[in-house]
Every structure is written in C-alpha cells, then in structure tokens.
A and B are shown apart, each in its own frame.
Chain A
Amino acid sequence: DAKTTQPPSMDCAEGRAANLPCNHSTISGNEYVYWYRQIHSQGPQYIIHGLKNNETNEMASLIITEDRKSSTLILPHATLRDTAVYYCIVRSRDNYGQNFVFGPGTRLSVLP
C-alpha cells in the first residue's frame, strides 16, 4: 500500500508556481521521498527525490519538512505541458525497485 497522501486534484495558472503537497507521516529514517509525474497514457517520468534536505534540479524543487512527515514539490513557473498526474512515493534505500508503490497521485491542471 502507498504510504503517502496527496490531494486528488489541483489547478494552477500558467506561469505561476505550482505547489503540490504530500503527507508521509509514517516515513522512517531510511526512506527517501520520490516524485514522478505521468502525462496522459505515457510512462511515469522521474522528477526529483530527497532524504531530508531540500533538493532542486532543472525540473523542480523539493521541500521536506524538518520532521520529514510531509513534503512539497514546487514547479516554479508552471506551463501547460506540466499538466499531468504527480505521484509522491516513499521508498527505503535498503529495498529494491519493487518498493516503488504508486498511489492515485494528484492530477495537476495548468490553466491558461
């Protein structure tokens, strides 16, 4: 079962920052937070992941709270092409890929 809770849907205006929340209150010390997104009928695409420090790459920023019980994915300037389902996943670094468990995610709609 997925160990995360995300809102089912969100809207964001084009050009504005999209902030997608994720709750993972049962996360353990050796579990990473991963974010993927899936554009309609395509395979999920890796976005970013982190353990406890905030992370940034060319796609997004990941903010993890100090107690690690929640995180936020930030798309700084959302475009129409960012419309997708966004998945937040927690996964132990000690286990193999079978522990990438996908929940229902958040459907982000970027509006013109």
Chain B
Amino acid sequence: ETGVTQTPRHLVMGMTNKKSLKCEQHLGHNAMYWYKQSAKKPLELMFVYSLEERVENNSVPSRFSPECPNSSHLFLHLHTLQPEDSALYLCASSQVGRMNEKLFFGSGTQLSVL
C-alpha cells in the first residue's frame, strides 16, 4: 500500500462515453500527477498539480480534463476518447520542496476504449 489510491482499477468505455478517473492520496503531499503508460512504452507525464494549481500540461489533448479540488484528490475526466487512448493511467503524489522528494504511485487504472 503506497498511500495513493486509484479507482476504478479497470474501465471499459465507448468513444462517446464520459467517465472520470479518481485518485486520492493519504500522505499529506502537496503535488499530484497523472501519467499515461501505453503498451510497451515508457511512462508519459500528462499533468502536474502543485499546491492545487496546474503547473504543467504536456500537450495533452483536450479530451482529457484534469481536476484537483484539493491537495488530496485528483480527477481525470474523459470524453470522446479514441481507441489509441487505451492505456494504464497512473496517479502519483509527492511533497514538493523536500530535498529528498519521491514520487509515490497508485496502482493505476487500466483503460480500454472500444
């Protein structure tokens, strides 16, 4: 148990559906992240929230919409996705400003877009 919880663990959706991924961290961290991992590819950073403000968006398509209502919760809202968006979506958190900063990851949501 890493202290970062993601739900759902698995999700299958059609291209016209709207769904949301949820992440919650119980570590008291002040930054949260979304990463995407497609099959046989390295992890790609999608979004970073530090102190509840988005500080980085790595050219992610607008069909992915993040929301960070407080320092413990992070959502990724999905709409009109494409089959190539099928991937493992990972949430992480860290304590920004700490010299020995470490990322703690959740178990991920395995998303399949049909």
Contact = CB atoms under 8 A, between A and B. Distances in A.
B48 to A, nearest CB: 5
Interface in A71-92: none
A96 B105 contact: no
Contacts of B50: 96-97
B70 to A, nearest CB: 18
Contact of A98 (B55, B90, B104, B108): B55
Contacts, number: 60
Contacts of A44: 43, 90, 103, 105
Interface string B79-114: 000000000101110101001111111111010000
Which range contains the number of B residues in contact with the other chain? Answer: 20 to 34
17 contacts: A2-B42, A34-B102, A41-B108, A41-B110, A43-B2, A45-B105, A46-B104, A93-B101, A96-B48, A96-B101, A97-B33, A97-B48, A97-B92, A97-B94, A98-B33, A101-B45, A104-B42
Interface of B: 2, 4, 31, 33, 35, 42-43, 45, 48, 50, 55-56, 88, 90-92, 94, 96, 99-108, 110
